[in-house]
């Protein structure tokens, strides 16, 4: 008890605080999400995400090499096809010459195994309706027909050079279907970072611009309801039973309680995605002089790690790795 107990003794100097810090943040914990776009001749700024761009194949390669040089743990790649190349079934997602598969192949040639190349395994960027799956006759998502498309997409991404696939569509049975499809095609070594607890969120807004989304309506029939907590661990349990190698909680900052729950029960590594709206909020507040940008970025990432994330996907990955 006070005055004998004085916790401030261990906060007195930066060296003392560093010595007793319970949570660490290192470049290897960070994954950089990147966008590669078809039909552009130079990088294109994303207005709602200042500092983030849609890349050409050449600029993608250069930015990815810079991330690896900074020590970032991996790259998560999203493809942005030309509008005229979108269709009802998202055929560009499985075309070896589709922009995402070409981007993966370029990263594999340039980077090899020096980093972890990850692919977004979802149809939404490639469908004319903007949904993550195939539409049924009544206009709703046909879960099981979508699984067949995911398997084809997964095999194409594995053949393009991805180390980890990121099934993010929240279809029932997607991890098991993809695992069976990969194994049957001889890709037993390719893993899955399952987007196991992915919530329908207002914070995805800037991402829709980043991928040129064609979505009309919402995704609430397949992404989770923000009001639900136990449902997340149920989804994780199902993905683990189906063979997920890693699991993810998305978004991160508004769902730290979910992240803690998942970290406490998961036998495999847990990732969390600091999404576009979270990036945009901090960036906009800093641009207005309301907060210290760099301090807020670090605090947000440490908070995600403290809640239990082994891996954090963040658009600041390269920059923060340089600070660390």
Catalytic site residue from 82, 86, 108, 250: 250
Instruction: Please give the Cα distance from 80 to 213 (Å, whole number).
Output: 9
Whether the CB-CB separation of 79 and 94 falls below 8 Å is answered with no
**29 Cβ neighbours under 8 A, 6+ residues apart:** 73, 305, 309, 310, 311, 312
Give the residues across from 233 on adjacent strands. Answer: none
| Location of structure tokens 């919402």 | 218
Active site residue 82: no
CB distance 43 to 59 below 8 Å:
yes
Rounded to 5°, angle at Cα 74 from 292 and 273: 55
CB distance 62 to 68 below 8 Å: no
Is 35 in contact with 54 (CB distance < 8 Å)?
A: yes
Helix axes 99-111, 57-70, angle to 10 degrees: 40
Give the SS3 label for residue 134: coil
Is 86 among the residues known to form the active site? no
* Closest-CA residue to 137 (of 148, 145, 127): 145
β-pair partners for 270: 247
Q: Is residue 188 a contact partner of residue 182, using CB atoms and an 8 Å limit?
A: yes
Q: Which of 82, 86, 108, 198 is catalytic?
A: 198
Write out the two tokens for 74: 């991996």
The single-letter DSSP state of residue 225 is: P
Among residues 77, 61, 64, which one has the least CA distance to residue 211? 77
Active site residues: 198, 250
């Amino acid at each position: 008890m006070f005055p004998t107990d004085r916790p401030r003794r261990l906060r007195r100097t930066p060296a003392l605080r560093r010595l007793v810090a319970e949570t660490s943040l290192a470049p290897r914990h960070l994954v950089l999400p990147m966008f590669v776009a078809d039909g552009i001749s130079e990088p294109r700024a994303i207005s709602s995400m200042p500092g983030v761009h849609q890349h050409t194949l050449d600029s993608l390669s250069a930015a990815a090499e810079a991330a690896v040089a900074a020590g970032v743990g991996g790259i998560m790649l999203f493809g942005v096809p030309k509008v005229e190349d979108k269709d009802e079934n998202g055929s560009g997602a499985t075309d070896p010459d589709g922009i995402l598969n070409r981007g993966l192949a370029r990263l594999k040639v340039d980077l090899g195994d020096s980093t972890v190349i990850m692919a977004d395994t979802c149809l939404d960027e490639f469908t004319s309706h903007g949904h993550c799956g195939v539409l049924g006759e009544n206009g709703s998502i046909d879960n099981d027909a979508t699984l067949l498309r995911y398997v084809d997409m997964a095999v194409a991404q594995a053949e393009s050079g991805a180390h980890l696939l990121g099934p993010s569509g929240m279809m029932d049975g997607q991890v098991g279907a993809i695992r069976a499809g990969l194994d049957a095609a001889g890709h037993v070594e390719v893993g899955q970072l399952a987007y196991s607890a992915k919530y329908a969120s207002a914070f995805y807004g800037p991402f829709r611009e980043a991928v040129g989304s064609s979505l009309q309506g919402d995704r609430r029939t397949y992404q989770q309801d923000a009001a639900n907590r136990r449902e997340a661990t149920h989804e994780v349990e199902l993905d683990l039973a189906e063979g997920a190698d890693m699991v993810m909680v998305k978004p991160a900052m508004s769902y730290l309680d979910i992240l803690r729950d998942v970290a406490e029960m998961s036998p495999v590594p847990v990732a969390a995605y600091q999404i576009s709206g979270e990036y945009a909020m901090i960036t906009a507040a800093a641009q207005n002089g309301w907060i210290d940008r760099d301090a807020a970025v670090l605090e947000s990432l440490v908070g995600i790690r403290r809640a239990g994330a082994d891996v954090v996907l963040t658009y600041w990955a390269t920059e923060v790795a340089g600070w660390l």
